[in-house]
Amino acid sequence: MSTALITGPTSGLGRQFAIQLASRGHDLVLVSRDETRLQELALELGDAHRIECEIIVADLSKGEQLYEVEKRVADERQPIDWLINNAGFGLNDPFLGTDIEAEQALLDVLVRTPMRLTHRALPGMMARGYGRVVIVSSVASWITSGTYSAAKSWATVFTEGVSGELRGTDVNISALCPGFVRTEFHERADMDMKGIPSRMWLNADEVVATSLKDVDRGRVISVPSIKYQALSQGVKLVPRSLVRRFSSMPPALGD
């Protein structure tokens, strides 16, 4: 029986990762700040799929709490075969209007956490000859929408770089780069998304199904839906001055 560790599993994409991996028979390690929702999810999935669900209550913006998750990832007595770096963080204000500690917390969750957990997970996966790592990035990684885009750009490029070190093995890493997804993300960040056309929204279950399929077959960058694949290619072709102008028009693309 293999085990998947998922950060941010209590809603949105993270919840779908938990549901779909549980349905495949994977035991789960669920990591979040919200103990009540973690316990509810663990009970739900454990009963529905007859799997073991371990919970870790942790605020990943806090170094000492992240360290406890790192130790679990690196524990070879209970190996982690799938690592889903999903925990999110959103800010609604422009950089100059945001508290610097909030900016730092965003980087801690979106950059430091996946970097450290991935670094802890990969040696064991390589030694065992199998592993899957997903880092939830965004199509925002190709635009210039403040610290969020910068963090997602790091996630995408980091994934591409690490994938080269894994070439020729059965240890795969993939950056999931969705556009707008129907989750709690924007609401929790107090973002007004009323101007986004309905055709631009993706369903979380379909996004996660695509991600799992893509990481299994070794696709390093996973962009769900044809429309976002076309948009991503288009952004790479236009002058950066136009990208910057487009990016300054709210709301920015997010996950």
Note the pLDDT of residue 93: 83
Is 148 labeled as catalytic in the residue annotation? yes
Bridge partners, residue 154, by sequence? none
Question: How many angstroms separate the CA atoms of 187 and 84, rounded?
Answer: 23
Give CA angle at 60 (59, 61), nearest 5°: 95
Say if CB 186 and CB 90 are below 8 A apart: yes
Domains of the chain in sequence order: 3-247 (3.40.50.720)
Sign of CA dihedral 32, 147, 248, 223: negative
d(CA 114, CA 94): 24
Write down the catalytic residue from 67, 130, 148, 228: 148
Question: Tens-digit pLDDT profile for the chain (255 aa)?
Answer: 799 999 999 999 999 999 999 999 999 999 999 999 999 999 999 999 999 999 999 999 999 999 999 999 999 999 999 999 999 998 878 888 889 999 999 999 999 999 999 999 999 999 999 999 999 999 888 877 789 999 999 999 999 999 999 999 999 999 999 977 776 554 554 444 555 656 566 899 999 999 999 999 999 999 987 776 666 665 666 676 665 666 665 444 444
pLDDT of residue 188: 53
